[in-house]
């Protein structure tokens, strides 16, 4: 079958909840994808940061296959020999005392919301069912009904109400004074992305994260960082909040924790927060299963062994510098941290993404005028040079 045959089946029989580029992937290794007709592409999206370690990373694949031959799923009614080792690895890498594993990023965000509310009632003493968590404008934390209820993007929330807006007041991202004005006696948490991914790789003003951390501490509020996309090397550090040397009360992780092999996500926190939820009050059939734990352990080890954080920082600086050197009236600006780059255009970005696809470079548009560029962290300077050449060509056309 050809590309159009697969697309026809998908359009006829599949839900239309995505608007993908018309490339049908059949194979992927490292930074490269091959379609069903044998054409090769440089992947500059990395499955929204889920394959930071590269497609089909052989080290993670080995751990995956080894675990598949033993046991893939046990109920959390029993213990398994992999999950404790994941807890240990997360503690060693991040310093947080405990980890609560889930599957998808949205599940992890929902978990953080439940933890913050329970902490608010049991520890802070907020009146029953009055807890508020302050979100940020331009946020993207997932697609569940709770989460889209505190989005300000009509494409995310329109048509899915009703919502409890009082539970999630919103402040202007990057504006600490506006955040201060939203705090009440019922505020239990502030939930932010240290860099907004879906928003177009939006970096807040210097000092914002530090000010948020100080404000939360002064008001006995939990500082919650969504590092699902930004974390685990994508932004040039283990976590993007490291740029301001802050320590959130909770860190939400996912995406690259899976290495692209199996859905893994979760929440990091210390015991004072984590142990407010008691047995039977939260969980997931697949969360923390042995296959997920084995994959996550190896995914984390690969980040360390292959120096992917350092590579992200070095290659990211190189990529951004090359893009900023392009002389084109169509470019508004280039922003980024590590290998997470937003190429902001003065016109709609999707036509350029389609042209880039035809040239063999895969990336994705967001918020109308922004091209997100986020290749696997194993990308080389030669790959970057080739990609920039194609980007320059498409912009010139």
Residues with active-site annotation: 140, 226, 255
Longest dimension (CA), the chain: 62
- Give dist(CA 266, CA 91) in Å, integer: 13
β-strand partners of 42? 32, 361
Residue with tokens 């404008």: 137
SS3 labels along the chain: CCHHHHHHHHHHHCCCCCCCCCCCEEEEEECEEEECCCCEEEECCHHHHCCCCCECCHHHHHHHHHHHCCCCCCCCCCCCCCHHHHHHHHHHHHCCCEEEEECCHHHHHHHHHHHHHHHHHHHHCCCCCCCEEEEECCCCCCCCHHHHCCCCCHHHHCCCCCCCHHHCCEECCCCHHHHHHHCCCCEEEEEECCCECCCCCECCCCCHHHHHHHHHHHCCCEEEEECCCCCCCCCCCCCHHHHHCCCCCEEEECHHHHCCCCCCEEEEECHHHHCCCCCCCCCCCCCCCHHHHHHHHHHHHHHHHCCHHHHHHHHHHHHHHHHHCCCCCCEEEEEEECCEEEEEECCCCHHHHHHHHHHCEECEEECCCEEEECCCCCCCHHHHHHHHHHHHHHHHC
Strands across the sheet with 340-345, in order?
331-337, 340-345, 370-373, 364-366
Strands across the sheet with 32-35, in order?
25-29, 32-35, 40-43, 361-362
């Amino acid at each position: 079958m050809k590309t159009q045959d697969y697309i026809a089946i998908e359009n006829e029989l599949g839900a239309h909840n995505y608007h993908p580029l018309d490339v049908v992937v059949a194979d992927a290794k490292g930074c490269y994808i091959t379609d069903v007709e044998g054409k090769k592409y440089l992947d500059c999206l990395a499955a929204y940061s889920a394959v930071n370690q590269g497609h089909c990373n052989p080290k993670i694949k080995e751990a995956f296959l080894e675990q598949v031959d033993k046991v893939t799923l046990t109920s959390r009614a029993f213990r398994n020999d992999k999950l404790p080792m994941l807890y240990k690895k997360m503690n060693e890498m991040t310093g947080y005392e405990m980890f609560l594993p889930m599957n998808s990023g949205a599940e992890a965000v929902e978990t953080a919301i439940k933890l913050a509310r329970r902490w608010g009632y049991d520890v802070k003493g907020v009146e029953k069912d009055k807890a508020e968590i302050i979100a940020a404008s331009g946020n993207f934390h997932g697609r569940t009904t709770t989460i889209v209820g505190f989005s300000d993007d009509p494409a995310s929330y329109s048509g899915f109400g009703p919502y409890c807006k009082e539970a999630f007041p919103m402040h202007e991202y990057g504006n600490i004074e506006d955040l201060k004005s939203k705090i009440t006696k019922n505020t239990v948490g502030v939930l932010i992305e240290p860099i907004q991914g879906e928003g177009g790789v939006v970096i807040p003003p210097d000092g914002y994260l530090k000010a948020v951390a100080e404000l939360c501490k002064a008001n006995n509020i939990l500082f919650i960082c969504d590092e699902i996309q930004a974390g685990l090397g994508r932004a040039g550090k283990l976590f993007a909040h490291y740029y301001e040397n802050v320590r959130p009360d909770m860190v939400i992780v996912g995406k690259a924790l899976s290495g692209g092999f199996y859905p893994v996500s979760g929440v990091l926190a210390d015991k004072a927060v984590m142990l407010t939820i008691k047995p039977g009050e939260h969980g997931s059939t697949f969360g923390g299963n042995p296959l997920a734990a084995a994959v996550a352990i190896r995914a984390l080890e690969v980040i360390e062994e292959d120096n992917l954080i350092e590579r992200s920082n070095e290659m990211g600086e190189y990529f951004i510098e090359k893009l900023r050197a392009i002389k084109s009236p169509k470019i508004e600006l280039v922003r980024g941290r590590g290998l997470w780059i937003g190429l902001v255009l003065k016109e709609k970005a999707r036509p350029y993404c389609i042209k880039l696809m035809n040239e063999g470079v895969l990336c994705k548009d967001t918020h109308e005028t922004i091209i997100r560029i986020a290749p696997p962290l194993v990308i080389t300077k030669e790959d970057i040079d080739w990609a920039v050449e194609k980007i320059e060509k498409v912009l010139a056309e």
